[in-house]
Structure 1
C-alpha cells in the first residue's frame, strides 16, 4: 500500500483530511501509464521522457488525500547532463545504508546529545519576507501494475517562496521516473516497448500560492508535542516533523526542542551516521511500524540539527516507498 492510502491508515484519527472528499486525479491512470512508459531513442539508447505529475502539499512526503498544493529534488538541477541522455529507464532506488543496521540502540540518548550541541544554521543569520524551500520528492502518486507487484513514480522538484500570510510562488518541475526495485524497472521498460515516443521536455510549472494561516513553530515542548501528533505514535510524528521542516524555516531553539521531543517518543532507534540521497552526511533515526509493514526514516544534519530527509520504506521486502529530501531552506526578500 503506497501513497495517500498508506498515510491515512498510519495517521488514523490524526489525519486532517480524513473526512475530505477526494477529487479525481489531474490525469487519468491510462495517461499516466502512457507518459511513464513512452520512450525515445537518443544516441542509440532508449530515453524515458518524464511528463507532468500531480501537485501535492508542500513539505509532505506521503500527503493525505484532500490536502492542497505542493511537492519537491536533490542535486539542485535538471535530471540530465546537457548533451547526455539519462539512464535507459530511470533510477532504481536503493535504501540508505545505516551505520547500525542490526540491533540499533534506542534513539533517545543520542537525540538528546545532538540537541545539546547543535549550532546555528546559515538561515539563523538571515532575514526576509519569504521562507524559501528547495526540495525533491518521490513516491506519491505511485503507479502500480495490475498484479500489485511493480511500481513507478516520477520524482519532482519544487522551489517555494512563502510569506507569513501563506502567499508566494511555487515552481515545480517533474523529473525522471524512479523505481523501488530492479524488477519494477524491468517491468515498465517491457511495457513501454512499441508505444509511441513522448516528445519535448516538461517545463517548470509556476503556481501562485493563496493566503493561508501559518503558525510559526514554537520551542515550547508541550506545543511541539501537540503539533507533531505525539499521541498517535512515532509513525505520525515522523510525518509531521517532515511537514514542519518542509513548510517553515525552523530556528535553532525549535530544532533542539524537536530533537528532545523525538527522544521521548517510544520506538525510535538510532541508526548512526548515514549519507542521504543528496550525498550529504547525516545522522538517522528510524521507527518500524510492523502493523503496517513500514519503516519511517528521519535524517538530520549532525551540526545544525536540521532535517535533511524523510523516507518511508516497506519492511517485507525492504524497498523505498517514498522520500523527501530538503535541499535548502532560507529567508529571502525576493520571491521566485
Structure 2
C-alpha cells in the first residue's frame, strides 16, 4: 500500500511529466482545440456536449435547470495540479496537530507463496561462495555504501522519515571521506525530506547533505580494525565493538551487524563467518522471501524483541546481509508512532 504522499500523487489528474506540459509551439490540431476551448468558455458552452446544464439547487427553483458556466479543462487540470502540490507540501511540513503526508515507509511484506529457507542452508551457500572466491578477489574492504531510512521523532511534532544514501571511502593513509545525500530509491527523481541544518524541508533528489574528509585514524579497536573470519573471534570482535559485558544477545548481535556493515564491506570469508554467527542466534526465525527497497530478492528472518520487531534480509545465493528493518511492536502515542511503523531501515550495497 502506498504511503499518504503517494496517494496524493496518484490523485493528481495531470502528472508533472504529462506530455501536455511539453515545451514548444502547438500543432495545428492543438491550436484548433485550444481556440475551441476558449470560445466555449466565453459562450458558456461545454466543448464536448454543447450547452451544459445542471439542476438548480437554490430555494424556490421548482426543479428548474439553469445554465452552467464551463471553463477550459486545461485550466481546471492546472488548478488541480497546483492544489495537490500545495496540499502535499502543507501536510508534509504542517504543525504538530496534523498528520504528515510523508510517514514511515510500509513494512516489507513476505511473499505468501514463498518457502522459508533455514539459516543453516544460507550458511552452506556462504561457505560455498567462500570456497569459490579462493584467490580473495572478493576480499574485505574498509568503507561502505548504504541507503537508510530513519524516523525522526519529537514531542513537538509528528514523526517524519528521512531517507539518505551514505558512501564512505577509506584511503591508503587511513584518512577517509564521507558523502551523504538525500535520496529515496522508491521514488527516483522526486524531492526528498530532510531535517539537516534548518529543520524539516524538501530538497531535490540527490541534494548533498554533507561531504567531509577525515584525517587518518590510528585506532586498532573494533570496528575500525579488520573483522576476523572465524565465528568465535568474530563474536568477540562484535562484543568489543559494542562495548558489551557479555556475549551479545540476538538483538545486540543485529545492532553489531549494522555497525560492522556501516564500517566494512565484507569479503567472502567474513561473510561466511557472519552467516554462521547469525545462524547460531536464538529467536531468529525464517519467514520467507521479500523484495527489499532496492528491488533485490532476499530471504527474511525475524526476531521479536521488547517493543520492536526486526527483520534481517539476506541474499539467498551467498548469505550476504542485504538489509535490516526495525518496526514498532507497540504504539507510542506521545511520538505519533503506531504498531507496524518502520522505525529504521538499512540496505547495504556492495
Give yes or no for TM over 0.5. Answer: yes
Other structure's SS at 1:255 match: helix
Give yes or no for the alignment of 1:298 onto 2:305: no
CA-CA distance at 1:144 after TM superposition: 3.1
> What corresponds to 1:136 in structure 2?
147
> What corresponds to 1:225 in structure 2?
235
CA-CA distance at 1:257 after TM superposition: 1.2
> What corresponds to 2:108 in structure 1?
96
Give yes or no for the alignment of 1:313 onto 2:313: no
Q: TM-score, normalised by structure 2?
A: 0.54
Distance 1:111-1:232 versus aligned 2 partners, 3 A rule: same
- Find the aligned partners of 1:203 and 1:324 in 2 and give their Cα distance: 19
CA-CA distance at 1:42 after TM superposition: 11
- Find the aligned partners of 1:200 and 1:42 in 2 and give their Cα distance: 23
- Find the aligned partners of 1:231 and 1:300 in 2 and give their Cα distance: 23
Distance 1:139-1:166 versus aligned 2 partners, 3 A rule: farther
CA-CA distance at 1:105 after TM superposition: 7.6
CA-CA distance at 1:200 after TM superposition: 6.5
Encode CA deviations 1:150-187: one digit per residue, 9 max, x unaligned.
411321111111236641211111346x9xxxxxxxxx
Matched-pair contact (CA < 8 Å) for 1:131–1:163: no
Distance 1:199-1:278 versus aligned 2 partners, 3 A rule: closer
Higher RCO (CA-CA < 8 Å; seq separation 6+): 1
RMSD: 3.9
The higher radius of gyration belongs to: 2
- Find the aligned partners of 2:80 and 2:225 in 1 and give their Cα distance: 49
Distance 1:205-1:42 versus aligned 2 partners, 3 A rule: farther
**Which segments of 5 or more consecutive residues in structure 2 lack a partner in the other structure?**
1-78, 94-99, 187-192, 194-199, 240-245, 331-338
- Find the aligned partners of 1:161 and 1:151 in 2 and give their Cα distance: 31
CA-CA distance at 1:308 after TM superposition: 1.1
Matched-pair contact (CA < 8 Å) for 1:138–1:153: yes
Distance 1:165-1:95 versus aligned 2 partners, 3 A rule: farther
Other structure's SS at 2:277 match: helix
CA-CA distance at 1:48 after TM superposition: 4.8
CA-CA distance at 1:297 after TM superposition: 1.6
- Find the aligned partners of 1:223 and 1:199 in 2 and give their Cα distance: 45
**Which segments of 5 or more consecutive residues in structure 1 lack a partner in the other structure?**
1-40, 52-87, 179-187, 189-196, 330-336
